[in-house]
Amino acid sequence: MVDAGFWIGGFGLGEGIDERPALLSAIIDVLPDEKPRMISGLGLPEEILEGIDAGIDLFDSTYIYSLTLGGFALTFSLDKSGNQYKYQKSPIESDLTKINLRAKIYRKDMSPILGNCTCYTCKNHTKAYINHLFNVHEMLAQILLEIHNTHHYLTFFHVIREAIKDGRFEKFRQTFIESRRAHYEREAVCA
C-alpha cells in the first residue's frame, strides 16, 4: 500500500540518550497523526518507553535476539505501576534486568527463570537445565531462552498498552525509568 506509514531509521547508532528526545520529536512533529510510525534501532525497555512517549507505534529491534545469543534471560519487573523496587535484589550474574544463564551459579538451580512467568520455558524447565544445554552447545538452549525472552518482552508491551488505555502511561514511564535507574545505582553502591 502506498503511504501506509513511516519507517524511521538511523537511531541507536551512537546518539546520546539525552539527545534522542529532541531528534525524535523533530521527526515525529512533521509526520501526520493518523499514520503509524515504525522505528528500528531502539530496543532497551527504557528506549521503548521514550519512543512511545515521542509518538512511535512500532519497533523493529534485534534486542531479544542479541540478548538470547549472550545467554541472558530478561527478569525485570512487569508490575503494572512500572516500579522496579518491588523486585528482588539482584542475584549473582545479574544486573537486575536480566540474568546470565551461562553462569556457573545456575548449574544446580532447579527453579525456573521466573517463578511467576507463564511461558513454555518457565513452566517446563529449570535454570539448571538451560545452563546444561549451554554447556553442551545444544541449540535448544537458545530456543528455550528466546521463548522466555520474547514472552517477557511482549508482556512488557501488553503492560504498556494497558497503562495507555487507563491514562497512566506518563506515570508508568517515569516510575519505570526512575526506579530502574535508582536500582542500578543502589546495586552499584552495594557491589
79 to 118, contacts with Zn ion by CB under 5 A? 117
For cell 546520546, the residue is: 16
Minimum CB distance to Zn ion smaller for 43 or for 112: 112
Residue from the set 8, 56, 119, 141 that interacts with Zn ion by CB under 5 A:
119
Main-chain phi, psi angles of 118, to 5 degrees:
-100, 15
**Interaction between residue 73 and Zn ion (CB under 5 A):** no
Using the minimum distance from each CB to Zn ion, give the nearer residue, 121 or 175. 121
Using the minimum distance from each CB to Zn ion, give the nearer residue, 148 or 180: 148
- Beta strand 98-100 with 72-74: parallel, antiparallel or unpaired? antiparallel
How far the first Cα of the chain sits from its last, in Å, is 53
Among positions 140-159, residues that touch Zn ion (CB under 5 A) are: 148
Does position 122 interact with Zn ion (CB under 5 A)? The reply is yes
Burial of 75-97, coded b for 16+ CB within 10 Å and e otherwise, reads bbbbbebbbbeebeebeebbebb
Is residue 126 within 8 A of residue 112, CB to CB? The reply is: yes
Q: Which stretch binds Zn ion (CB under 5 A): 53-61, 64-72, 121-129, 162-170?
A: 121-129
Helix H or strand E segment including 8: strand 6-8
CB of 67 to Zn ion, least distance (A): 13
Q: Considering the complex, what minimum distance in angstroms separates the CB of residue 46 from Zn ion?
A: 21
Dig out the grid coordinates for 64 from the structure.
531479544
Nearer to Zn ion, 53 or 79 (CB): 79
Q: Choose between 94 and 175: whose C-beta lies nearer to Zn ion.
A: 94
Interface positions with Zn ion (CB under 5 A): 117, 119, 122, 148
